[in-house]
Chains A and B, each alone.
Chain A
Amino acid sequence: MSSTEKEGKMPKEKIGEVSEETANELEMTDEELALLVQSGNSERFGMLMSRYDAKLTRYGRRFLSNPDNIEDLVQDVFIKVYKNIKGFDATQKFSPWIYRIAHNTFVNGLKKSLKDSLHFFDLDTLVSHPIYEDPSNAEREQKQMKIMIEKGLDQVSPQYREIMILYYIEGLGYKEISDVLRIPTGTVGIRLKRGKEALKKVYEKLGLKYEPSE
């Protein structure tokens, strides 16, 4: 995932293809757009939806084991986002905020179909863990991990699945994931580590070659 994409902007090479006004709009960060929506410029909400539709759909598809109604759920997410946008603090990053709403919506969707994914209490959140600096931060390695996750993710426990999606596929940082899942940052690191271990076991079980970026 490129840095421009991470900041919620459109790549510059694509901006040249559109009008100047739209180009300005495309240059805006998610937070700036959210601020405009907060001040009543609801047209800009369309831009936010365009930016996040694919991301949230992708997130939801991997999160939910039966994503038949994913479009409805994503639509629900946008409705909630619009209704609650005045509760967003524009000095903070927009992506963890919208992913948090998406997470809650998907969990509710999941409650209807699955019970095993819901953990009321997690020992990992009990004590402090040193933040596990994943060596696969480099983009090439991230891509490699992404491909591996695509293959074995379905068989990884939901507890680790979501965190791996957010980190390796959606490109969120530890702090952002901590805000989405409302868990300590150290727990994010430890879960990612365990998720990778779980993925390794899945690979062994499937007889596939596990080549993580370690």
Chain B
Amino acid sequence: MNNHNENHNHEINHDTANNHEELLKKIKEGQISMRPKVFFTLKVALLCLVALFILLISAFIISFIFFGLVISGRMLLLGFGFRGILLFILAFPWLLFAIDILLMASLDWLLKKFTFGYRSPLLYLVVGSSVIVIAAGCLITTTSIHRDILHREERKNPMPLFGPMLGGFYHGLRTPPKNQGVFRGNVISTTTDGFILSDEKSDNDSDFGIASTTDIGIATGTDFKPLSGSQDLRVVLPPEIQTAGFIQIGDRVFIAGDIVGNEIHAFGITKVATSSDDEPAQ
């Protein structure tokens, strides 16, 4: 039995030695060669670049979502109670958000390739990378990049390089989701139960004097049909909001409500800044 085992081990060792010799021979003959150091350096550099690129794109999308929510006034819906929150959820750009989540997931997958990445628990890595992406997104939001792209898009003067591609995303970004009963405009006169809203220059940007025309109308199903003849909209305020002096002629307001015939029965209203339509001025 022992002899048999010895013979077997001897055979294995012999085979192993042969395999090693064969491999060394192939190496000497140049059939198997080492990858150059630069290959590995470039690989790591490429990995870092791709991770950085994904981080920036992801942060840019986060800031774009935030910018879109602010400039269209959707963010103000959060102050309109339960219905406002519901509308906010319905009007949220979920597809873009899902794309961003996918990008962040791929960023985490890439980070797992680094020692610090795989040694950290996944939860920490996900939270850490999300915090970095959101922080970078906030940083981008403080710059004027989105505003510049939007203005250029509105003036049909896209930015060089990525402008034409990016511009499409900014098209109509200011417009609130009117078919969901969300409007922004100027108060042109007051009535006993509300006011008349004019939208003719509501979505302009006073910095650039752009007068973008928007349609005021009524929703029929999901389609939105402009009212014939008039750009004005009668807004009926609920009794609790009909406080004297709250709304004055010339005010710029953001409203959310139900479309009933030619009227908007508002459940939420807030004043917005008159100089710029981006920021709320409560």
Contacts and interface: CB of A to CB of B under 8 A. Distances in A.
Interface stretch (B121-129, B137-145, B245-253): B121-129
Contacts of A138: none
B27 A128 contact: no
Contacts of A75: 19, 23
Contacts of B40: 84, 86-87
17 contacts: A38-B34, A42-B24, A42-B27, A42-B28, A45-B27, A71-B15, A82-B27, A82-B34, A83-B35, A87-B39, A125-B121, A125-B122, A126-B121, A178-B119, A182-B118, A184-B119, A186-B121
A85 B36 CA distance: 9
Contact of B23 (A79, A125, A127, A184): A79
A185 B118 CA distance: 9
Contacts of A10: none
A183 B120 CA distance: 8
B16 interface: yes
Q: Which of A183, A184, A185 has the most CB of B within 10 A?
A: A184
A19 B32 CA distance: 30
B274 to A, nearest CB: 50
Contact of A183 (B28, B36, B118): B118
B35 A84 contact: yes
Interface residues of A, number: 31
Contacts of A45: 24, 27
A53 B112 CA distance: 29
B4 interface: no
A50 interface: yes
Interface string B61-97: 0000000000000000000000000000000000000
Interface string A58-95: 00000000000001000100110011111100000000
Interface in A185-205: 185-187
A178 B119 CA distance: 7
Nearest to A187: B121
A197 to B, nearest CB: 21
B123 A87 contact: no
Contacts of B39: 86-87
Interface string B18-60: 0110011001100011111101100100000000000000000
Contacts of B43: 87
Contacts of B124: 128
A90 to B, nearest CB: 12
A82 B15 contact: no
The 9 closest A-B pairs by CB, nearest first: A87-B40, A182-B118, A128-B121, A86-B37, A126-B122, A49-B20, A42-B27, A126-B123, A125-B122
B191 interface: no
Interface string B210-223: 00000000000000
A53 B20 contact: yes
Interface of A: 38, 42-43, 45-46, 49-50, 53, 71, 75, 78-79, 82-87, 125-129, 178-179, 182-187
Contacts of B33: 83
Contacts of B27: 42, 45, 82
Contact of A71 (B19, B35, B112, B122): B19
Contact of A184 (B16, B32, B118): B118
Given A42-B24, A46-B24, A79-B23, A182 B112 contact: yes
A187 B139 CA distance: 35
B2 interface: no
B5 interface: no
Contacts of B112: 182
B115 interface: yes
A78 B23 CA distance: 8
A182 B112 CA distance: 8
Interface string B234-254: 000000000000000000000
Contacts of B23: 49, 75, 78-79, 82
A175 B27 CA distance: 32
Given A50-B20, A82-B32, A83-B34, A127 B115 contact: no
